[in-house]
């Protein structure tokens, strides 16, 4: 990615050329494009919209055919019920702590490891990097039994360290950031060295700011996967609610009875809100980092 | 719901296998007093009142329960009553999210030792639980406490009785029943007082309802109903006395009865008089919700849902809910409905005091008073004759006869290996094989006899590979 991308906002797209025929053509294309995008957006958002609608329906409306597309008499009580009966405040707090630790940990370890792979020379560098990459091929579920006994023997069962430590390092993050670091021109590094910058100074003042889109992408990615974890938090939490995360609380709410469908959906909507906020805030970085590197 | 099951997740299966391996290793190295295999009714000292006597502080035990919320609240109330009623035992109720998750957590606990003292597991996990070799058969406690099981429903006990030893105590037991809309029956010219009693009647009724512009049958694709149909015809699902005299080694349901049931299901679906939904997933309640919307006039589902079904459907003016016994494949059933639901298991790894304390608690939950409260509060079957005869239950049954249907089902017919229900290791996978066969019949037009045979072949392979993994 171009280094300037992070420092300056990208310039607005140039205004369309002023020649009338081409302009009409362009407008048509624009209309077409927006129409297609709108259709796509409706398709993608529809399930979420229906979840919100259904969460606001009274039990007497839930079975209606065809399903109501708009809640005429919204029952906000379902949200209150989900919040209080589902203990969502506790679960959301636990999830927030767990996710923050994992995101911060992954960013720090990935930055340091990626820096080593990108800028340092040491024996077996290529081999080690391949080993890092190989961890990408092993699904977490394969190591779950050994991780579980390790965590328990360390006395971390039902604690935040137990929830988070196995996820503090990631081969994916290291790979992603290494690629970003490699695109930093060597001249910059040499210039920094001439100015007397040590490794850490160069890392924090030059490399990290330049790799910000990649860092944001990694942050969002690890946030999503940490927030949505289910199996590990289920297995590693114990006989009380002290560290159980929101996905487990949600499952508890969803595994419910027929007359409570609206409450389950209300809980689901509540649990999705933090993700939506995150996506809205970091959308630009996310999109930019996904497309960066596509064209060199 | 009572019989939700695994979406067979590969990693989870791997975890389970690892857990079983570890369990096998640890139990072979430790010198445990109870031998593996379940039939151990060795010395009664493993679980007896002596373990609780002379203690100054209460024994705290952890109980992993798997009930959905409303039923969970009734269980919490019962537990509070127990905790306040005596000073020897304190129960810490741990709410797990579902039967599947409890079972997963239990298997994971085998690797790291984080196990509860008492755990509520669903019927299909019975063989799996015995195979973990981490269970203290409650027979030890029954003997040690000189507990009388005479008042408990024999069939409910029988399900969790393997190798002539009680492995676990039944607790939340239900049966499949027919929910139907009397108003729709009336409009279609059917007698609302005479719901279909056989599968043949069910097909006729569904077609008649459809022809009269009413909804047909909401058919949840749940092999539990198939298994129940076999039991009502006194047919076992697997060999070795339904897996009770020895470990099941093969499925035996590809017989005329099995084919007959498949044929009726095929007729229902392919004539368009029944709509299907899955038993696990977003559409899990579609059969019942469909009764509310008028899409269906009948649905088969667990009796444990009765309370919530009534509560929901009473809000729909077009519905007048009736509850009837599960229509059977035979006009005069030669067998009976097998129990389904969950039982309470005691961990072998707990201390002797904790095991005795666990038994005290289980005995409390299965007492007449508790079973009365439990059945009235949830819709589960009262597991004691004395509870069924209590004034609370009798009043409930006379004002709301639907609640009696599942009890009558479970107590009528004969007691046999078939009506005790099947026990096998890879139960969930075998159920998936049955679902696949039903789907191939509905979607690809495979003939019912072929579909049943395919399900049996697939089940045999699953059972063989499970047994090999377990090492027997």
- C-alpha A24/C-alpha A19 separation (Å) is 9
Closest CB from B92, B97, B293 relative to A255: B97
Check pLDDT > 50 for residue B181. yes
DSSP string, A155-214: T-TTSHHHHHGGGS--HHHHHHHHHHHHTS-HHHHHHHHHTT--HHHHIIIIIHHHTHHH
Give the pLDDT confidence score for residue B408 in this predicted structure. 96
Gap from B123 CA to chain A (nearest CA, Å): 18
CA distance B400 to B387: 16
pLDDT at site B249: 95
pLDDT at residue number A57: 86
Q: Residue A42 and residue A150: Cα distance in Å, rounded? A: 46
Task: Provide Rg for chain B, Cα atoms.
Answer: 22
- First vs last Cα of chain B: how many Å apart? 33
Are A75 and A57 a contacting pair, CB within 8 Å? Answer: yes
How confident is chain A (296 residues) per 10-residue block, as mean pLDDT?
Answer: 45 54 84 95 91 86 77 85 88 95 96 93 92 88 87 91 93 92 88 88 90 88 91 87 88 73 88 88 74 51
pLDDT at B28 over 70: no
- At residue B341, what are phi and psi to the nearest 5 degrees? 135, -140
pLDDT at B427 over 90: yes
Instruction: List the one residue out of B66, B6, B86, B16 whose CA is nearest residue B367.
Output: B86
State the maximum Cα–Cα separation within chain A, in Å, rounded to a whole number: 75
- What is the pLDDT confidence band of residue B381, given thresholds at 50, 70 and 90? very high
Q: Are A111 and A177 in contact (CB under 8 A)?
A: yes
Distance separating alpha carbons of residues B83 and B93, to the nearest angstrom:
11
Looking at the complex, report in whole angstroms how far the Cα of residue B425 sits from the nearest Cα belonging to chain A.
21
CATH 1.10.340.30 fits A81-290, yes or no: no
Nearest residue to B260 via CA among B456, B453, B449:
B449
Residue A23 pLDDT: 77
Q: Which residue of B has its CA nearest to A234?
A: B105
Structure tokens given for B197: 């009693």
Q: Which residue of A has its CA nearest to B105?
A: A235
Total count of residues recorded for chain A? 296
Chain B residues with CB under 8 Å of A151 CB are: 112
Taking only the tens place, the pLDDT of each residue in B166-180 is: 999 999 999 999 999
- Cβ-based neighbours of B11, under 8 Å, separated by 6 or more: A139, A141, A142, A144, A231
Which pLDDT score is estimated for A291?
A: 65
pLDDT at A293: 52
DSSP structural state of residue A10: P
Does residue B239 have a pLDDT over 90?
Answer: yes
Query: What is the secondary structure of A235-296 as a DSSP string?
Result: HH--SSSSS--HHHHHHHHHS--GGGHHHHHHHHHHHHHHHHHHHHHHHHHHHHHHHBTTB-
More confident residue, B111 or B128: B128
When CB atoms are compared, the residue of A145, A234, A240 closest to B111 is A145
Pairing of strands B59-65, B89-95: parallel
DSSP for B328-375 reads BSSSS-SS-PPPEEEEEEEETTS-HHHHHHHHHHHHHHTSHHHHHHHH
Q: What is the pLDDT of residue A290?
A: 63
| pTM confidence score | 0.83
| B5 chain-A contacts, CB cut-off 8 A | none
User: Smallest Cβ distance to B293: which of A65, A152, A258?
Assistant: A65
B68 CB-near residues (< 8 Å, 6+ apart): A255, A256, A257, B1
Name the residue among A42, A173, A183 with its Cα closest to residue A114. A173
Tokens 């075998």 locate to: B430
Neighboring chain A residues of B70 at a CB cutoff of 8 Å: 256-257, 260
Average pLDDT over residues B197-225: 95
Q: What is the pLDDT of residue B7?
A: 38
User: If pLDDT is split at 50, 70 and 90, which confidence band does B29 have?
Assistant: very low
Q: What is the DSSP letter of B43?
A: -
pLDDT over 50 at B120, yes or no: yes
Contact A252 B97 (CB under 8 A): yes
The model's confidence at residue B472, banded by pLDDT at 50, 70 and 90, is low
Residue B319: band (very low, low, confident or very high) from pLDDT cuts 50, 70, 90:
very high
Contact B313, B183 (CB under 8 A): no
DSSP-assigned beta bridge partners for residue B170:
B343
At B364, list the tokens.
């409390």
Least confident of B1-10, B82-91, B325-334: B1-10
d(C-alpha B183, C-alpha A177), whole Å: 66
Question: How would DSSP label each residue in B295-312?
Answer: SEEEEEEEGGGHHHHHHH
CA geometry: angle B133, B139, B140, nearest 5 deg: 80
Side-chain half-sphere CA neighbours of B395 within 13 A:
6
pLDDT > 90 in chain B, percent? 74
User: Taking the domains of chain A in order of start, what are their residue ranges?
Assistant: 81-290
Three-state SS for A32?
helix
pLDDT of residue A6: 44
Q: Which of B292, B296, B311, B321 would best serve as a mutation to test chain A binding (most A beta carbons within 10 A)?
A: B292
Question: Which of the pair, B408 or A284, is modelled with greater confidence?
Answer: B408
When scoring A147, A259, A264, A267 by the number of chain B Cβ atoms within 10 A, the one with the most, hence best to mutate, is A259
A145 chain-B contacts, CB cut-off 8 A? 15, 18-19, 22, 108, 111
Alpha-carbon distance values, B332 to B24, B192, B203, B367 (Å): 46, 21, 17, 34
Whether residue B179 contacts residue B261, with contact meaning beta carbons closer than 8 Å, is answered with: no
Query: What's chain B's average pLDDT?
Result: 88
Determine the average pLDDT of the residues in B60-76. Answer: 89
Interface pTM (ipTM) of the complex? 0.73
Mean pLDDT of B25-49: 47
Greatest mean pLDDT among B48-62, B206-220, B302-316? B206-220
Residue B327: CB partners within 8 Å, gap ≥ 6? B178, B195, B196, B197, B198, B199, B201, B202
């Amino acid at each position: 990615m171009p280094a300037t991308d992070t420092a300056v906002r990208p310039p607005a797209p140039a205004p369309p050329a002023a020649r009338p025929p081409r302009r009409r053509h362009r407008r048509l294309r624009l209309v077409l494009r927006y129409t297609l995008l709108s259709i796509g957006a409706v398709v993608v958002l529809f399930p979420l919209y229906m979840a919100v609608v259904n969460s606001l329906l009274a039990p007497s409306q839930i079975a209606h055919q065809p399903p109501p597309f708009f809640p005429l008499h919204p029952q906000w009580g379902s949200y209150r019920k989900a919040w209080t009966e589902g203990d969502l405040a506790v679960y959301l707090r636990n999830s927030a702590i767990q996710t923050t630790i994992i995101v911060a940990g992954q960013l720090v370890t990935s930055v340091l490891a990626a820096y080593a792979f990108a800028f340092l020379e040491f024996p077996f560098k290529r081999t080690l990097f391949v080993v890092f990459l190989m961890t990408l091929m092993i699904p977490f579920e394969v190591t779950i039994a050994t991780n579980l006994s390790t965590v328990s023997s360390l006395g971390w069962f039902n604690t935040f360290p137990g929830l988070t430590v196995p996820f503090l390092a990631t081969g994916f993050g290291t790979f992603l950031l290494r690629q970003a670091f490699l695109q930093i021109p060597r001249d910059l590094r040499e210039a920094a060295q001439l100015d007397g910058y040590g490794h850490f100074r160069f890392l924090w003042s030059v490399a990290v700011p330049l790799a910000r889109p990649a860092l944001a992408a990694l942050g969002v990615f690890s946030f999503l996967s940490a927030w949505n974890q289910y199996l590990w938090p289920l297995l590693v939490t114990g006989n009380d609610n002290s560290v159980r995360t929101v996905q487990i609380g949600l499952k508890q709410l969803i595994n419910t009875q027929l007359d409570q469908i609206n409450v389950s959906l209300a809980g689901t909507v509540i649990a999705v809100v933090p993700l939506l906020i995150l996506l809205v805030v970091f959308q630009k970085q996310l999109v930019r980092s996904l497309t960066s590197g596509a064209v060199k | 719901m009572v019989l939700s099951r695994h979406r067979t997740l590969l990693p989870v299966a791997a975890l389970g296998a690892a857990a079983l391996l570890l369990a096998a290793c640890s139990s072979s190295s430790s010198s445990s007093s109870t031998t593996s295999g379940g039939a151990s009714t060795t010395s009664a000292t493993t679980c007896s009142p002596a373990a609780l006597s002379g203690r100054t502080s209460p024994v705290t035990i952890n109980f992993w329960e798997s009930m959905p919320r409303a039923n969970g609240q009734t269980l919490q109330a019962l537990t509070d009553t127990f905790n306040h009623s005596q000073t020897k035992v304190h129960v810490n109720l741990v709410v797990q999210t579902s039967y599947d998750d409890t079972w997963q957590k239990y298997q994971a606990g085998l690797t790291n030792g984080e196990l509860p003292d008492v755990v509520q597991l669903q019927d299909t996990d019975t063989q799996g639980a015995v195979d973990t070799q981490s269970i203290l058969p409650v027979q030890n406690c029954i003997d040690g406490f000189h507990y009388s099981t005479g008042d408990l429903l024999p069939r409910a006990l029988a399900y969790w009785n393997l190798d002539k030893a009680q492995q676990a105590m039944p607790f939340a037991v239900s049966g499949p029943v027919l929910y139907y809309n009397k108003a729709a029956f009336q409009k279609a010219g059917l007698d609302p007082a005479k719901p279909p009693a056989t599968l043949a009647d069910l097909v006729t009724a569904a077609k008649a309802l459809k022809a009269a512009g009413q909804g047909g049958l909401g058919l949840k694709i749940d092999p539990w109903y198939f298994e129940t149909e076999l039991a009502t015809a006194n047919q076992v699902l697997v060999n070795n006395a339904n897996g009770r005299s020895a470990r099941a080694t093969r499925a035996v349901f590809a017989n005329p009865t099995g084919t007959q049931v498949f044929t009726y299901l095929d007729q229902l679906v392919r004539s368009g008089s029944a709509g299907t939904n899955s038993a696990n997933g977003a559409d899990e309640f579609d059969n019942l919700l469909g009764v509310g919307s008028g899409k269906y006039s009948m649905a088969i589902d667990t009796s444990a849902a009765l309370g919530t079904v009534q509560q929901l459907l009473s809000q729909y003016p077009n519905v007048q809910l009736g509850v009837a016994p599960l229509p059977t494949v035979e006009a005069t059933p030669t067998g009976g409905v097998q129990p389904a639901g969950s039982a309470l298991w005691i961990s072998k790894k707990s201390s002797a005091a904790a095991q005795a304390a666990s038994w005290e608690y289980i005995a409390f939950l299965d007492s007449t008073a508790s079973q009365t409260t439990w059945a009235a509060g949830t819709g589960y079957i009262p597991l004691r004759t004395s509870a069924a005869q209590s004034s609370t239950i009798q009043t409930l049954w006379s004002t709301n006869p639907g609640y009696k249907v599942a009890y009558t089902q479970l107590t009528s017919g004969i007691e046999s290996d078939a009506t005790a229900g099947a026990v096998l290791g890879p139960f969930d996978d075998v159920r998936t094989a049955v679902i696949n066969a039903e789907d191939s019949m509905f979607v690809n037009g495979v003939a019912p006899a072929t579909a049943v045979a395919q399900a049996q072949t697939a089940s045999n392979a699953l059972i063989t590979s499970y047994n090999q993994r377990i090492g027997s």
